[in-house]
Amino acid sequence: MRAALPAALSDDPAVAWPALRDFVTGMSARPLPDDLVDTSLRVPAAVRAALFARDVAGADVLAGIDVPTLIVHGRQDAVVDPSAAEYAAGLIPNRTLTWLDSGHVPFVDQAAEFDSALAAHLGRCFGWSV
């Protein structure tokens, strides 16, 4: 992710597109479509930049979550360091942390495992049999 910045935040599509393509390539073990990059470019550069201008710690917000929470994180995530999942899990009171052998998009890389984790979480929350 850091290698793609600041070019990915450029107003110039000729500069932003290659950087975003590199970023997208690192998100998954599977090839992702180029239209994902095109869709990302529809987001104004100022909005993309704002994503990196926020306080990502949010300890007070995480500690205040009062609903059962599922955290799913890929062990090979090259976009968000896996320690972020551990950080969140350490603060959210009623949470389940599930690790998948995937990159940043476990719902793509390991769709069946992701769906199973989500179904199990919903089962715990609502008493459903999965």
Listed by start position, the domains of the chain span 2-50, 59-126
Backbone angles phi, psi at 66, to 5 degrees: -120, 25
Answer for the pair 40, 118: CB distance below 8 angstroms, yes or no.
no
Q: Is 98 helix (H, G, I), strand (E, B) or coil?
A: strand
- pLDDT in the model for residue 17: 93
In order along its 130 residues, the chain shows pLDDT tens digits of 667 788 989 999 999 999 988 888 888 877 888 788 898 899 999 998 888 776 666 899 999 999 999 999 999 998 888 999 999 999 999 999 999 999 999 999 999 999 999 999 999 999 987 6
| CB proximity list for 88: less than 8 A, separation 6 or greater | 62, 71, 95
Model confidence, pTM: 0.78
